[in-house]
Chains A and B, each alone.
Chain A
């Protein structure tokens, strides 16, 4: 293959938004038959660059060459018709229709003016067989797992004969096994000469799967290097633009006496946790590890009372507590940060102020109304102590970055003065710099004597901040490891125990 031939060349791309230069001489050059990782913190301009490629945004300057020809797509459909496809992190699919209808939507194969279901089925099956995707084309797509739906989306791109495929955070909700399957498919596509842009925050994966890596920061091109010349630390350093000696803050918290005992907790409606018992100490950070589907979230939900429990008991400070709803739990000193920030955490269209005080309205009651002054003071406390970057309290929370949104929600819960914080994937979708800040906040809270349970899919994160890690496997607790004894291998072994 001609080494200098690029299938896609984006050079000097510029894009100005009101108040911020989103892209400043951004560059991306893609060779056929390679996987090209595009990296950078949230807000570095990765998705803006991709949106310029697909014509969702119109670049203010720069050129986009595809196969050496200048191209300006008018939108995703136009790009797709020209062999440029994207698999989004959040899949846009018509959930109640079949797999094959989703693939052929907008260009159904027709016979005598009517849709030919047979042809549609045959062609879908052909693509699935080639890529080794074990999915029935007639299945309703909403019944598939996220990883299967993602594969369907890749197959759709292949059915368009895509020569350029953008994968946006494809592994963020996949299990290790599913990731392996995805990589098999990616390798098949690579062998066929498809050029892939792989956007991800997961260093280990990127170093494994990609050929080249382009790093962006503040909308600028920083570096493009062969993946084999890079290390995790090198990438982080390029991404944040400073030496990041430690990904985790120093652990300074010292666990004290037991404050929470969970005995034989079993959820009422399966799938949920089964016979889970553990203890939590004052000022301790307890990690919960496990594969997707190991029901880690369900433990937190059952403790917090938003999921019903069938049996078992929760003892806090020596007294039995019965959380039948989130209200009971809040009253009893629990707080819960949910996994899906957008779906169950933020009130997007409302202000920072609203989002900060909503769980603590009781604290502002005067006679019949709420004290605006106290609410403003508390919101300011959230902004200051959580270091939320926002112009005003009235700013809509949806305009903040993921990390800042998460800080507001963490602040919301701290206003309720909890003793026990249940954090479900607290750093999901947050960039490296902000992750560090969240870790620091968690350790600070433990130092103040609060007890924290952290559910996370990122093992390095659990190993970096926790005192102990309990591992879930298919609803059962398969083991609790002290941090000194915990390794990724040991966690994986326990996680697979009941599968």
Chain B
């Protein structure tokens, strides 16, 4: 018999690759601090995390679809719809040009949250149905859904008495819930992100659904032979994503405090970039929750620090693009078969 050939020792370069994302994140922060020492403050760090929170929750949903070897181009527009529902139902009851003049007593906060989730889940199940039952590529079905969601959002916002005006002047309880801080330090948004991430880590690593998701993403044929109900599990992953979108939408409306037809634009691309930077492979079957979080945070650090350093807004796009390409180029080295 041949000797077992197990490559166990890792070279320094391989170890570097394993931690590349964290090193990139650290380097970016150090560079910014060197240029502008005032960047280094707890306040800024919490601010970055809070800004990353809603997109992070969105990305947690998108990541599941990417692990299934799909994607979701409609996440941003779906979030827009959920945000519009949440904001319209939670406008201050004393605000004269609120959307629902019939609401004179403040609604319990959970009602808009649940409605937001229902709307987002409905759109996600449409995507899921396309992928699981109609066997469309997620790119195509979500391209269509994205337009439908955008149209629905515009119609909804335009249906106000005064025409298409931003949904603003929101209820104080809502704003406090979203923008408050625990002990005056940790933003509630960060707490919400952390809770969603922990729950999702659990779903991905400790449940049948999670195992099945990796199986379907890694080898759908083998999954089917192994008795995995492929269509049902795909639908469930989309359902979970819908719930996360609904939560993200509810929080985002409260965070930006004014919902328009443009709310959510390009959030899907940010979420996808975050996932990809975080090592979720587009070829399916590979990804981790901590990776997604790091990816989203890296993206937000880029955003915030470029803004903080006062870099020209157009130049910001170019730098952001380059950093995304660089980060992913380094990260994929890990998976390239060495010869």
* Chain B interface residue bracket vs A: 20 to 34
In the bound complex, do residue A391 and residue B2 qualify as a contact, i.e. CB atoms below 8 Å apart?
no
B5 touches A350 (CB 8 A): no
Shortest CB-to-CB span from A471 to chain B, Å, is: 25
A347 contacts B8, CB within 8 Å?
A: no
Contacts of B5 in A (CB 8 A): 17, 19-20, 22, 43
Give bound CA distance, A9 to B127, whole Å: 59
Q: Given A369-B207, A370-B208, is A327 in contact with B222 using a C-beta cutoff of 8 Å?
A: no
Beyond A17-B7, A361-B211, A389-B4, whether A412 also contacts B226 by CB under 8 A is yes
Instruction: Give the most central of B6, B7, B222, B286: most A CB within 10 Å.
Output: B222
Tell me whether A326 and B2 are in contact (CB under 8 A).
Answer: no
For A346-359 the 0/1 string (1 means CB < 8 A from B) is 11111000100111
In this assembly, does B212 line the interface, its C-beta being within 8 Å of a C-beta of chain A? Answer: yes
Q: Among A19, A43, A57, A350, point to the contact of B9 (Cβ < 8 A).
A: A19
Q: Kindly state whether residue A78 has any CB partner on chain B within 8 Å.
A: no
Contact indicator A343/B339 (Cβ below 8 Å): no
With A19-B5, A347-B222, A358-B226 as known contacts, state yes or no: A365 contacts B215, CB within 8 Å: no
Contact in complex: B224, A306 (CB < 8 Å) = yes
A330 within 8 A of B: yes
Give the nearest-CB partner of B286 in chain A.
A349
Is the CB–CB distance between B3 and A218 below 8 Å?
A: yes
Q: Which residues of B contact A17 (CB under 8 A)?
A: 5, 7
- B218 at the A/B interface (Cβ < 8 Å)? yes
By CB atoms of chain A within 10 A, which of B1, B3, B206, B228 has the most? B1
List of A residues within 8 angstroms of B218 by Cβ: 347-350
**Is A338 interfacial (CB 8 A cutoff)?**
yes
Q: Which of A56, A57, A218, A346 contacts B219 (CB 8 A)?
A: A346
B231-269 vs A, CB cutoff 8 Å, 1 = contact: the mask equals 000000000000000000000000000000000000000
Beta-carbon contacts of A406-420 to B below 8 Å, as 1s and 0s? 000000100010000
The answer to whether B229 has its CB under 8 Å from any CB of chain A is yes
- B100 contacts the other chain (CB 8 A): no
Residue A399, interface by CB 8 Å: yes
Q: How far is the CB of A212 from the nearest CB of chain B, in Å? A: 23
A109 close to chain B: CB less than 8 A: no
Residues of A contacting B212 with CB < 8 Å?
A: 361
CA distance A391 to B9 in the complex (A): 13
B227 interface residue (CB < 8 Å to A): yes
Interface positions of A from 329 to 384, Cβ below 8 Å from B: 329-330, 336, 338, 343-350, 354, 357-359, 361-362, 365, 368-370, 372
A327 to B229, Cβ gap below 8 A?
Answer: yes
Q: How distant is the Cα of A240 from the Cα of B1 in the complex, in angstroms?
A: 6
- Tell whether A106 is near chain B: CB-to-CB under 8 Å: no
Enumerate chain B residues within 8 angstroms of A327, measured Cβ to Cβ. Answer: 227, 229
Among A1-25, those with CB < 8 Å from B are: 17-20, 22
Q: Is the CB of B8 within 8 A of A391?
A: yes
Q: Would A347 and B215 count as touching, CB distance under 8 A? A: yes
| A303 → B minimal CB distance (Å) | 13
Tell me the minimal C-beta distance from A472 to chain B in angstroms: 21
Query: In the complex, what's the smallest C-beta–C-beta distance from A300 to chain B, in angstroms?
Result: 11
Chain B residue at smallest Cβ distance from A362: B208
Can you name the residue of chain B whose Cβ is closest to the Cβ of A57? B339
Interface size class of A (residues with CB under 8 A): 35 or more
A266 contacts chain B at the CB level, 8 A cutoff: no
Classify the secondary structure of B's interface with A: loop
User: Is the C-beta of B139 less than 8 angstroms from some C-beta in chain A?
Assistant: no
B150 at the A interface (CB under 8 A): no
Which residues of B1-60 have CB atoms within 8 Å of chain A's CB atoms? 1-9
Is the beta-carbon distance between A354 and B6 smaller than 8 angstroms?
Answer: no
A151 within 8 A of B: no
Could you tell me if B2 and A42 are in contact, using CB atoms closer than 8 angstroms? Answer: yes
Contacts of B222 in A (CB 8 A): 338, 343-347
- Give the chain B neighbours of A326 by CB distance below 8 A: 224-227
Contact: B1 with A41, CB < 8 Å? Answer: yes
Bound CA span A433–B1, Å: 7
CB contacts (< 8 Å) of B214 on chain A: these are 347, 350, 354
A136 in contact (CB, < 8 A): no
Most buried by B among A306, A348, A369, A416: A369
- Contact in complex: B202, A306 (CB < 8 Å): no
- A17-B7, A347-B215 given as contacts; is B228 within 8 A of A358 (CB)? yes
A235 at the binding interface (Cβ < 8 Å):
no
Closest to A327 in B: B227
* Contacting pair A370 B1 (CB below 8 A): no
- Which of B202, B223, B227 touches A330 (beta carbons < 8 Å)? B227
Give the distance in Å from the alpha carbon of A18 to the alpha carbon of B208 in the complex: 36
* A57 CB contacts on chain B under 8 angstroms: 339
Q: Are B225 and A344 in contact (CB under 8 A)?
A: yes
B226 in contact with A359 (CB, 8 Å): yes
Residue among A42, A347, A368, A391 facing the most chain B CB atoms (10 A cut-off): A347
**Interface residue? B172 (CB, 8 A):** no
Min CB gap A207→B, angstroms: 23
A189 to chain B, nearest CB (A): 29
Contact of A18 with B3 at beta-carbon distance under 8 Å, contacts A358-B228, A370-B211 already known: no
Q: Which residues of the partner chain A approach B202 to less than 8 Å between Cβ atoms?
A: 369
Which B residues lie within 8 Å of A350 (CB)?
A: 214-215, 218, 285
Bound-state Cα–Cα, A341 to B225, Å: 11
Q: Give A219 Cβ to nearest chain B Cβ, in Å.
A: 8
A291 at the interface (CB under 8 A from B): no
CB distance from A57 to the nearest CB of B (A): 6
CB distance from A21 to the nearest CB of B (A): 9
- Choose among A18, A218, A348, A412 the residue that contacts B2 (Cβ–Cβ < 8 A): A218
Q: Does A395 contact B (CB under 8 A)?
A: yes
Residues of B within 8 A of A158 (CB): none
Question: Is B221 part of the binding interface, using a Cβ–Cβ cutoff of 8 Å?
Answer: yes
Q: Which residue of A42, A349, A399, A431 contacts B6 across the interface (Cβ within 8 Å)?
A: A399
* B 109-159 contacts with A by CB, 8 A: none
**Besides the known contacts A218-B2, A354-B214, 20 further A-B residue pairs in the complex with CB atoms under 8 A apart:** A19-B7, A51-B339, A326-B225, A336-B225, A338-B222, A343-B221, A344-B221, A347-B215, A347-B219, A347-B223, A350-B215, A357-B211, A358-B223, A358-B226, A359-B226, A365-B208, A370-B208, A372-B206, A391-B8, A433-B1
Q: Mind listing 6 A-B residue pairs with CB under 8 Å?
A: A19-B7, A338-B222, A348-B218, A349-B286, A361-B212, A390-B6
| Chain B contact residues, CB within 8 Å of chain A | 1-9, 202, 206-208, 211-212, 214-215, 218-219, 221-229, 285-286, 339
